[in-house]
Amino acid sequence: MIQPTQEVSQAVLDDYRRQFAEAMKLKDELDEIQQAILQTKREIATLHVNNFEGREMTRVTDELDAVVNGTEAATEAILAAAEHIDDAANTLAARTKGQDNALAADIQERVVTIFEACNFQDLTGQRITKVVNALRFIEDRVSRMIEIWGGMESFASVEAETRAKAEGDAALLNGPSLVTDDDIASQDDIDALFA
């Protein structure tokens, strides 16, 4: 027969084992959380290092803004030319008969097609603006996370991955410059080289 003190001791021992098992589960979960935080910090540090301290993300959004502005300007030029062609075709249609009149009407129909096709610019601008806003939202959230963790100084010990350097033709692909770019050769500078 088990003595009452042995029963109490066994109950205490069983309770201790249960609490120890729970503590070990909690430790494992805390270790996973710590690893997730370290991985997140590593990813943020990698973004920061490869983002040239926030300048590249700004560059991306500026490039997309330039796409919207360039598309808008090109569309306005196309529409202005189409309006001029339409006016000329109207004048021609009023002065001609027969096949020439049919040709003027065909030109007018094609101009309407140009007007309709230029609607893409507004939709494209709206979509790109959504992307720009999403990128700016992400950039703001990453900056806030960096602040929460004590600024970039707290990332000094975190080893960031570096982006592979572009080689060959990819290293030459810089695209057109933005208005805000410094020390960029203008088209006049390039033309002067060949003059």
1/11 Cα distance (integer angstroms):
16
User: For position 107, what pLDDT does the model report?
Assistant: 95
Q: Nearest Cα to 189, choosing from 180, 173, 172, 177? A: 177
Of 82-86, 105-109, 189-193, give the lowest mean pLDDT range.
Answer: 189-193
DSSP letter at 153?
G
- E strands, 61-170, in order: none
Q: Is the pLDDT higher at 30 or at 1?
A: 30
Residue 4: pLDDT over 70: no
The predicted-structure confidence for 19-66, as pLDDT tens digits, reads as follows 999 999 999 999 898 888 888 887 777 776 666 555 677 778 888 888
The pLDDT score that the predictor gives to residue 3 is 60
User: Over the stretch 125-173, which tens digit does the pLDDT of each residue have?
Assistant: 889 989 988 888 888 888 888 888 888 777 777 777 777 777 777 766 6
Q: What is the mean pLDDT of residues 100-113?
A: 93
- The whole-model pTM stands at 0.58
Distance of alpha carbon 72 from alpha carbon 121, whole angstroms: 6
Q: Label residue 190 by pLDDT band (50, 70, 90).
A: confident
Q: What's the CA gap between 105 and 193, in Å, rounded?
A: 48
What span, in angstroms and rounded, lies between the C-alpha atoms of 58 and 132?
10
Question: pLDDT digit string (tens) for 80-96?
Answer: 999 999 999 999 999 99
Q: What pLDDT, on a 0 to 100 scale, did the predictor assign at position 49?
A: 66
**Phi then psi dihedrals of residue 44, to 5 deg:** -65, -40
